[in-house]
Amino acid sequence: MLFDLDGTITDPAPGIIGSVIHALETLGAKPPAFEALHWTIGPPLRASFRRLLGGEERVEQALDIYRSRYRDGAMFEATLYAGISEAIAALNSQGYSLVLATSKPHVFARPILSHFSLDHHFAAIHGAELDGRHDDKGELIGHILATERIDPSRALMIGDRAYDVKGAARHGIATIGALWGHGGQAELREAGAVALCRQPEHLCEVIAAQFPFANPSSKMPTSEGGFRR
């Protein structure tokens, strides 16, 4: 089972958006308001800075500034979504093999999971490289499938953005859309999420009901939990 990190396990808005604003201001660019930058949570940062700076010229500078602040503590300016740690622990105890699949560099992803005492639930932690390799979600998932020898027909993605859904679909993997994250229902539906889950506390039910290969004896989720497209 592949899990996204930002917007699925943690709400990283203060750390990510604060670091984006810091990078732009350091470069002399006027940043948009904090609330107007939620779209930067999920996509590869290079693409976000390219859009914010109007081109490629200062993207690497912006990344260096961003990462300096992020590494110095902003990576921990995040909160766990209510119920997600319990859902992850439950899935792990049920025998699922959990793998982190994040476009965030793995050098940040690993300490974040450790900070929230979740790393021991994951069989593997995968993320992008600092040089940009694997920051495309589809490319990252392909790398994970090959490295971990995962059969895509037995895999499932949990994520909150279209990038998660489309990246998984490139390998024939279905996605449960996390409506508690930053993507929203319209984005996830349009991207092709096979099922949507409203809250982390319902995730186990939705997985069991929508994907019988996982647990064929499970009951259907409540109306508050999840639903098919």
Contacts of 139 (CB under 8 A, 6+ apart): 133, 167
Q: What are phi and psi of 117, to 5 degrees?
A: 55, 40
Crossing angle (nearest 10°) for helices 45-53 and 59-71: 130
Tell me the CA end-to-end span of the chain in Å, nearest whole number. Answer: 20
Q: Counting every residue, how long is the chain?
A: 229
- Tell me the HSE value of 199 on the side-chain side, using a 13 A CA sphere: 10
Q: Closest Cα to residue 108, out of 133, 76, 135?
A: 76
- Are the C-beta atoms of 62 and 24 separated by less than 8 Å? yes
Q: In the numeric block, which tokens belong to residue 125?
A: 């932690």
4 is catalytic: yes
Q: In the numeric block, which tokens belong to residue 7?
A: 């917007």
Q: Residues 4, 135, 136, 160: which is the catalytic one?
A: 4
Q: Measured between alpha carbons, how far is residue 132 from residues 67, 104, 156, 171 in Å?
A: 13, 10, 25, 21
Which residues participate in catalysis according to the annotation? 4
